Amino acid sequence: MAGRVWDPYLTEQDRAHIEASGHRDKGFGARPALLMIDLYRWVFGDRPQPLLEAMEKWPGSCGLAGWEALPHIQSLLATAREVGMPVIHVTGLPEQDAGIVGWAGNARASKKAQDGRAGYMGGDKAKRTSDMFDIVDEVAPIEGEAFLRKSSPSPFFGTPLVGHLNALGVDTLIVAGESTSGCVRASVVDACTHRYNAIVAEECVFDRHESTHAINLFDMHQKYADVLPLAEIQDWMHKWQAPDGYGV
What are the strands of the beta sheet with 226-228, ordered from one edge?
A: 146-150, 87-92, 32-37, 172-178, 197-206, 226-228
User: What is the pLDDT, as a whole number, of residue 213?
Assistant: 98
Instruction: Among 104-113, 184-193, 213-222, name the one with the lowest average pLDDT.
Output: 104-113
Instruction: Among 19-28, 128-137, 220-229, name the one with the lowest average pLDDT.
Output: 128-137
Domains of the chain: 27-239 (3.40.50.850)
Q: Each residue of 192-232: pLDDT tens digit? A: 999 999 999 999 999 999 999 999 999 999 999 999 999 99
Q: Is the pLDDT at 114 greater than 60, yes or no?
A: no
**Catalytic residue check, 192:** no
3-state secondary structure of 61: coil
Q: Is the pLDDT at 102 greater than 70, yes or no?
A: no
Task: Report the C-alpha gap between 108 and 114 in whole angstroms.
Answer: 10
Instruction: Please give the mean pLDDT across all residues of the chain.
Output: 89
User: What is the pLDDT, as a whole number, of residue 126?
Assistant: 52
Among 62, 183, 192, 204, which one carries the catalytic annotation?
183
Residue 24 pLDDT grade (very low, low, confident, very high; cuts 50, 70, 90): confident
Instruction: Among 58-67, 119-128, 189-198, 205-214, name the one with the lowest average pLDDT.
Output: 119-128
Residue 2 phi, psi dihedral angles, 5° rounding: -65, 175
pTM confidence score: 0.90
